[in-house]
Amino acid sequence: MPYYVVKDGQRVGPLSDEEFQNRILSGEIGPDTLIWQAGMADWKRYAEHSGLEAPPPPEISPKPTFLTGPTGVCAECGNTFVRDELVSIAGASVCAGCKPLFLQRIREGASLPSAYRYAGFWIRVVAKFVDGMILGAMGLAVQLGIFGTSLGMAPQPGEVNFGPTALSWGLGMVIGVSYAVFFLGKFGATPGKMAVGIKVIRSDGAPITYGRAAGRFFAEYLSLLTIYIGYIMAGFDEEKRALHDHICDTRVVKN
């Protein structure tokens, strides 16, 4: 439906929706500009007409059922798109349909939306506890298997047999790495995170790769070696990032 505006005391129009949006983005139409379109009883200030001093939200096409290639989430509408269809603006990814509204928010200095609900410190503690129970049970089974087969191999007096202990530690490390990399790389969440409804993503909403999942596993040791301060950071960070999330450019969000 075309718009009409008042500029320098003169009526300008009709303007298509696209022309109207372009004039808003260019600054020609401001909060005090008088506008009118069919169905309005009288001329109104643009700010009064829009309510939030922003153009009406664009119509977003339904989220595609099948997406090929890496995907991301639009920070404005929250829908999932192929990453090539998203535009990076002010550190956020937005779709083509939401771009005019997002730019308008930036021009007016409004707060920018987030498509994510970040997982806080305590829910991540619960997820870590569940994963620890699962890994502990797996590790116990491995240790029983190793030490059970070495009961008849006691060392001679004065000898120390570190073989079973070293083997147990090595297999425990392999199990831990495999557990994290497989579940994070394939599902974006370990069983503990699945249990509480959270997952790990990239800062732009894309899923993490197996390689990044491996890097994140080892980066967690830095959070551990800092007397858990690296983990505690998630309770105070704006995006609930722990130290290893900062290092690997990841976010933990609620599904």
For residues 126 and 249, membership in a common domain is answered with yes
> How many C-beta atoms lie closer than 10 Å to residue 141's C-beta?
11
Tell me the residue range of the domain where 90 lies.
71-108
Total number of domains constituting the chain: 3
pLDDT at site 47: 67
Considering the domain boundaries, does residue 115 fall inside one? no
For residues 166 and 199, membership in a common domain is answered with yes
Specify which residues 35 forms β-bridges with: 5, 44
For residues 181 and 141, membership in a common domain is answered with yes
pLDDT per position in the chain (255 positions), as tens? 676 777 777 777 777 777 777 677 777 777 777 776 766 767 777 666 655 444 555 555 554 445 556 677 777 777 778 777 888 776 677 788 888 877 776 776 655 555 578 899 999 999 999 999 999 999 888 778 766 655 445 555 555 556 666 777 888 899 999 999 999 999 999 999 999 999 999 887 788 999 999 999 999 999 989 888 999 999 898 889 999 999 999 999 998
CA-derived radius of gyration, the chain: 27
For residues 34 and 76, membership in a common domain is answered with no
Considering the domain boundaries, does residue 66 fall inside one? no
The arrangement of strands across the sheet holding 44-45 comes to: 10-15, 3-7, 34-37, 44-45
For residues 201 and 232, membership in a common domain is answered with yes
- Tokens 């939306």, located at residue: 113
For residues 160 and 238, membership in a common domain is answered with yes
For residues 80 and 29, membership in a common domain is answered with no
For residues 193 and 133, membership in a common domain is answered with yes
b/e map of 175-201 (b: 16 or more CB within 10 Å)?
ebeebbbebbbeebbbebbbebebbbb
For residues 214 and 96, membership in a common domain is answered with no
pLDDT at site 108: 66
Q: 144, exposed or middle or buried, with CB in 10 Å at 0-12, 13-18, 19+?
A: exposed
pLDDT at site 46: 66
How are beta strands 3-7 and 198-202 bridged, if at all? Answer: unpaired
For residues 209 and 249, membership in a common domain is answered with yes
**Greatest Cα pair distance in the chain:** 105
Considering the domain boundaries, does residue 249 fall inside one? yes
For residues 126 and 151, membership in a common domain is answered with yes
Considering the domain boundaries, does residue 64 fall inside one? no
Considering the domain boundaries, does residue 63 fall inside one? no
Q: 65, exposed or middle or buried, with CB in 10 Å at 0-12, 13-18, 19+?
A: exposed
pLDDT at site 116: 73
For residues 141 and 246, membership in a common domain is answered with yes
Considering the domain boundaries, does residue 60 fall inside one? no
Residue 45: CB partners within 8 Å, gap ≥ 6?
31, 32, 33, 34, 35
pLDDT at site 34: 76
